[in-house]
Amino acid sequence: MDYKKIVAEEIQKLVPEHLTYDQVYQLLEVPKYTEHGDVAFPAFALAKALRKAPQAIAGDLAAQLNHPYIEKVEAVGPYVNLFLEKAAVTNAVLHEIAAEKQAFGTADIGKGGNVPIDMSSPNIAKPISMGHLRSTVIGNSLANIMKKVGFNPIKINHLGDWGTQFGKLIVAYKLWGNEEKVKAEPINELLTLYVRFHTEAESDDTMNDEARAWFKKLEDGDAEALHLWEWFRSESLQEFMKIYDMLGITFDSFNGEAFYNDKMDEVVELLDKAGILTQDRGATIVDLEKYNLNPALIKKSDGATLYITRDLAAAIYRKRNYDFAMSLYAVGNEQSNHFKQLKAVLKELGYDWAENMHHIPFGLITQGGKKLSTRQGKVILLEEVLNEATELSLKQINEKNPTLEDKEAVAKAVGVGAVVFHDLKNDRLNNFDFDLEEVVQFEGETGPYVQYTNARGLSILRKAAVELDTTEAADLGLDDAYAWEVVKLLNSFPEIIQQAYEKFEPSVIAKYTIHLSQAFNKYYGNTKVLVEDDKRNARLALVQSVATVLQEGLRLLGVQSPEKM
């Protein structure tokens, strides 16, 4: 229910010559302090047209406003402060949520348009890092949000499965590799080989030449090279899948960098035809000086293609294949320059649709304030983090609710949910520190706290043991201050989703679920929900609505809502 709309209509009716409905709507504010009402209209904007002091205008408007949803109006200085009729608004809001259930907040902004989302995209033969975790959960949540507002998201895992590192890996495997070891612990073993390659290459120059030669062979389709590459890829992918399963995240496509191998010649041709290729010390580049960017390196002197060449091919492929409304890339902040170059080259090719490509950058995860780096072997292994989180939450369940059924499954939903939630509750561009103990707390601004609030709501409803006839339930209107805060938050959920969409920012929803949980827990602490009086059903309808909205909020984040905790 958009009560701002009602207020805007009523005010506009009083000044039809001076302001349009949209102008009034835009001017409305939500006062900081509840004693200033629920909505406020600043009268300054009318002063010139009416040739009157804003204070006087506010007084006039206040005297004339009158609507069943408006309880009282006060002019305070230049402001018209409006207090809504709590019971009436509460009825409307609770009815709406009861009728729409999980669909509450759905919009049709996207009109079904396709939105490929490039997300996760780890590199074959390397551990999936906390950075990839961020990309995975941010991308997944954005997909849910885009779908909620009417787009058709397509989740693409642009695997790092091509590039000179495969030349190095082949050389290392041929020199020191062991099939059994790779099969037993693929990522670990391949990483060890890769690290050993670098150590030995420091004192032996020929190693790098050999690696380049093997990568060239791979690009040219050499059978042995291809066979090894395929094997490394499938072993690695199997390990990645374990993590995706734990997170409950699926993909629509695993077309990674290698997929574009046979689409590269065309890209180079297009660039050539557009007359934007130049040679620089044997390498082929696109100059981007007029964009204030470094040149894009398209081909090395030995003819090998590069990361950006494959991204050019991918962007063009996605446009052709999906005719996208928007194309998103959930990739760390440190690649901002790469995506600027990518868009600039596409613009040089005359592709206006490059405007609809958005890099969704995010900050670093640190530990003890320090950056995590793969090079020094200081990777936090994601699988371990998720397992540890599950154990920590099991410990807390054992303390709080030792007889809970299905404890292991709940612990997993809570542990994994905690990690995901923690990742999403910060503005995505902020760096944040990762401290597992803190992440899995059942109190504080955490995922488990929100999950727990929902489970508590559901347990109240079970105890009440009434079939809520939600079409009538709320008619006894609640009018206490605690309920009112909850109702206003519930009512803002659709707006929150829209903000999250407009900013590509899941944290807007995560923060909202915390606020709603806090408001609900305050309400619950001050109210005897189950007491048998004439407002019992209204209170239960409120509890039901809170649970519905919390579950939907968590779902949009990619976090589960266990029924009992």
Is the distance from CB of 107 to CB of 147 less than 8 angstroms?
no
Between CA 147 and CA 112 the distance in angstroms is 8
Residues in 147-166 at the binding interface with ligand ARG, rule: CB under 6 A: 158, 160
Position 327 contacts ligand ARG (CB under 6 A): no
Query: Is 329 a residue that touches ligand ARG (CB under 6 A)?
Result: yes
The structure tokens 């909505």 sit at: 39
CA 107: distance to chain centroid?
17
Q: Residues 16-55: x/- map of binding to ligand ARG (CB under 6 A)?
A: ----------------------------------------
Sign of torsion over alpha carbons 55, 58, 64, 66: negative
Is 311 a residue that touches ligand ARG (CB under 6 A)?
Answer: yes
- Taking CB under 6 A as the rule, does residue 487 contact ligand ARG? no
User: Residue 121 Cβ, how far from ligand ARG at the closest point, in Å?
Assistant: 4
Whole-number Å distance between alpha carbons of 125 and 215: 15
Whole-number minimum distance, CB 337 to ligand ARG, in Å?
Answer: 12
**Cβ nearer to ligand ARG, comparing 40 with 314:** 314
Three-state DSSP state, 20: coil
**Residue labelled with tokens 């991308």:** 139
Buried-exposed string 220-255: b where 16+ CB fall within 10 A, e elsewhere: eeeeebeebbeebbebbbebbeebbebbebebebbb
Contact flag: residue 123 with ligand ARG (CB under 6 A): yes
What is the total count of residues that contact ligand ARG (CB under 6 A)?
Answer: 10
The region of 23-31, 70-78, 116-124, 189-197 touching ligand ARG under the rule CB under 6 A is 116-124
Of 128 and 246, the one with the shorter C-beta distance to ligand ARG is 128
Answer whether 142's CB lies under 8 Å from 557's CB: no
Which among 238, 237, 231 has a CA at the least distance from the CA of 256? 237
- Nearest distance in Å: CB 157, ligand ARG: 9
Sign of CA dihedral 384, 389, 391, 392: positive
State whether residue 81 is helix, strand or coil.
strand
368: number of CA atoms within 13 Å, CB side?
3
Min dist CB 371 to ligand ARG, Å, is 15
- Show the binding pattern over residues 253-292: x = contacts ligand ARG (CB under 6 A), - = does not: ----------------------------------------
When CB distances to ligand ARG are compared, the closest residue is: 160
**What amino acid occupies position 320?**
R
Between 253 and 527, CB nearer to ligand ARG? 253
The token pair that represents 200 in the structure block: 């030995």
- Using CB under 6 A, which of 10, 85, 118, 189 touches ligand ARG? 118
Cross-strand partners of 100: none
The amino acid occupying position 20 is: T
CB 520, min distance to ligand ARG, A? 39
Residues 6+ apart with CB under 8 A from 53: 47
Task: Name residue 39's beta-bridge partners.
Answer: 82
Contact string (CB under 6 A) for ligand ARG, positions 369-408, x = contact: ----------------------------------------
> How many whole angstroms separate alpha carbon 552 and alpha carbon 564?
17
Q: Do the beta carbons of residue 382 and residue 130 sit within 8 Å?
A: yes
Nearer to ligand ARG, 123 or 454 (CB): 123
> CB 440 → ligand ARG: shortest distance, Å?
27
* Residue nearer to ligand ARG on the CB measure, 187 or 314: 314
Which tokens hold the place of 465?
A: 């043991």
| Of 90, 91, 114, 121, the one binding ligand ARG by CB under 6 A | 121
**Is the CA virtual torsion 11, 15, 17, 18 positive or negative?**
negative
> Is 38 or 257 the residue whose CB approaches ligand ARG more closely?
257
Q: 440 and 504 in contact (C-beta within 8 Å)?
A: no
* Sole window of 57-65, 117-125, 166-174, 489-497 interacting with ligand ARG (rule: CB under 6 A): 117-125
Least Å from the CB of residue 254 to ligand ARG? 13
Nearer to ligand ARG, 44 or 351 (CB): 351
Between 85 and 311, name the residue whose CB sits nearer to ligand ARG: 311
Whose Cβ is closer to ligand ARG: residue 333's or residue 401's?
333
Number of C-beta neighbours around residue 111 at 10 A = 9
From 98-106, 118-126, 228-236, 277-285, give the range in contact with ligand ARG by CB under 6 A.
118-126
Residues that bind ligand ARG (CB under 6 A): 118, 121-123, 158, 160, 311, 314, 329, 331
